[in-house]
Chains A and B, each alone.
Chain A
Amino acid sequence: MKVLILSVFHPDLVRGGAQLVARELFEGLKQVPGVAPVLLASTDRSLPALYKAGACITGFDGRPDEFLFLTNEMDPWWHKCSDPRLVEAYAAFLEQVRPDVVHFHHFMTFGIELLTLTRRVRPACRIVFTFHEFLAICAADGHMVRTTDGSLCDHATPVRCHQCFPAIPPERFFLRAAYFQAHLAAVDVFTVPSRFMRAPFIRWGLPAERLVHVPNGQDKPPDAETPQAPRARRARFGFFGQLVDAKGVWLLLQAVDLLRAEGFVDFSVEINGDNLRYASEARRAEVERFVVAELDRPAAERIVTFNGPYHPARIGERMARVDWCVMPSVWWESFGLVISEAWMCGRPVIAPDVGGPAERVTHGRDGLLFRFADARALAETIRRAATEPGLWDRIAAGIAPPPPRAAMVAGFRALYAAASDQSGEVTTATRGGGPNRSRSSAAGIGRQKR
């Protein structure tokens, strides 16, 4: 069985959770007898020399079965490919690779219309699509957080979306949804890494029977077992991730300010990550002001340390420096790979009480949950974590191993099962899609809701 995995960016070129999962899957499938995976990962212009003259798809650094899709500018609203040559090159690539399964890890940077093209070029192949956030539903970076007040959104309608983007009229959101759904109609099976994500997508119009929960899985980083001395106090907290608004580092810093103002200073916070340049202007300024103020303090009075970026394979070293992993995200968080990473390193997690974290973390057993987007609640949780005797040991002992790579691979393989590993032919009895199936019109999805 030949499986083509499309990854939004290559994780060795552009960091991000979706590409990390795609690569884990690719590496995992390589271990499965009878399965031949191929990775096609997009890239961006950060390394322009990779864009060889006249090329649309190239190999990647001599690695077998890994290819780069040299994407150009992408329409951030329609997520449409703007270059006919890229479309033609992808069609030719499909003909060359002849996959039995095409597994999309996102449409971003590729163009959502490649789903429909895949169906046309390989009518009998099985198309699997994994959602890593809600970008198909939500124009606000797919976070489903209302731009009006930062509250969580649980369903999109033209008027609700128009409220978030008053300059864009309601009918544009209707058309965007219809357009996305028309292309997603080419997909046989959709997957989400957390169960809670099913509800918004089903309400949006995707068929429940074709929307499957497959948790992200990854193997332990090589340094996960970094040894450390026993500690009496567990008051070291760590943030791991991008310094963008949605990841909420600003909320953590607000919590630190609150605690300091109350005179509680006997704890430390280490910030690991970068890309503050992608934060909003206001949040970037807020974080930068904090950094300056912190550096102005005498060393003994500093609580927060900024460690900069880290390589995913070396996360164990950074985790070993803290007791708790704080995940202050201010969106739903589709899964929370950092939760898995913390757990693989034996670190309890402090996370918001919504979405992926709430689904994975059991408050008081294997982590602590705090009220979503509430700096005061986060501050109180940090104080408790730092001061309550025995809490860390009890919760650390309650941590169960997160899903390993093999479990995720097995989950996806079950969805690929309808594809033959020999001929590429599938039976119509087992195939959900195909060239002659009745396509639900995008408009029809809206009609069902009425």
Chain B
Amino acid sequence: MHWQESEEVKDSLYKGNSGIGIDPLRTEFGFRSPLTGIVEDLDLKKMLSRRQRVSMGEESRYAYVATIEAMQKAQITEDFFEKNEVGIIYGNDSTALSVVESVDIIKEKKDTTLVGSGAIFKAMNSTVTMNLSTIFKLRGINLTLSAACASGSHSIGLAYHLIKSGLQDCIIAGGAQETNHISMASFDGLGVFGIRPDDPTKASRPFDQDRNGLIPSGGGATVILESYESAIKRGAPILGEVIGYGFSSNGDHISTPNVDGPSRAMKRALEDANIGAEVVDYINAHATSTPVGDANEAKALFEVFGKSNPLISSTKSMTGHECWMAGASEVIYSMLMMEHSFVAPNINPENPDEDSAKLNLANKTIDKKIDVFLSNSFGFGGTNSALIVKKC
């Protein structure tokens, strides 16, 4: 079993490595595109009891190992959770495989008991938070945030506000995404997945003229958010400070993104952070490699950041679109860049289109000190989230 820890992720980001490959099962299953981020599922037998594991689907397994690593980085232990009221807000917006597996059993056996005791806990959308809160014995706020592909980002934003308002001192936030073919089938059905099976690593090409769709991916990403006082009190290594959260809803089409919604979210994040656009050194774009989405984000980015023209890249060019997880993982990718002073590349930039040509795209790795970054996440239904994080 292997999962990518942040050190390995940092190296891949720096080198501009793509994690996209082919899943032969998808073609057989009727997918238009067999391409996906290649993420290994996890066997947690050595880490958790049977009782704990039977309630966990793919997304919870990813979230669990991500949280273990986040705890190590934050130098926080379960002993702290026991003595303090720690909460969890985690982004997740589907549990497709677990639901399908249970329904298949009921259809075959005509008996609901035979789905087993874990089925209900795996099938609910709050599966990640119900599992992690019981495993780690958390006693603070406990909720799952479902906001399509902005779920992970909003979870950090909401956690930030609960801490800022003094209601909580420490919250585990993040996002998880199942990657199995069952979970992605209806998304593929919309015709929005990129097709380039002869050259998978070139398929995710945000802002490039020849992009033809996003490449699905997933996993788990966790950050530990804590009040400054709490972090100082326990001598925690402070990796960054959330200084701004902007949100908006497009009030428009269910799947087609617009310019106004993302633009308002970014402006609100800047206002919340009380900084001008010129203070932002780097933007991790939402850009998924879809024709309309990237073009509209480019327009919104130019509208808000056109004057200062900060470096921009979409790490989805390497990772694919990690959907419910993306808003959290991309904050972590950006924090790794901030920690190690580089901007990860927007790979596959052969021909920028008209809108992206106006942006300062980092099309190769750039060694640069980052003090403040903004991370964009948008989702179906027109939900938008922009987070601004500052180096400490």
A and B: bona fide binding partners? no
Q: A residues engaging B (CB < 8 A)?
A: none
Q: B residues engaging A (CB < 8 A)?
A: none
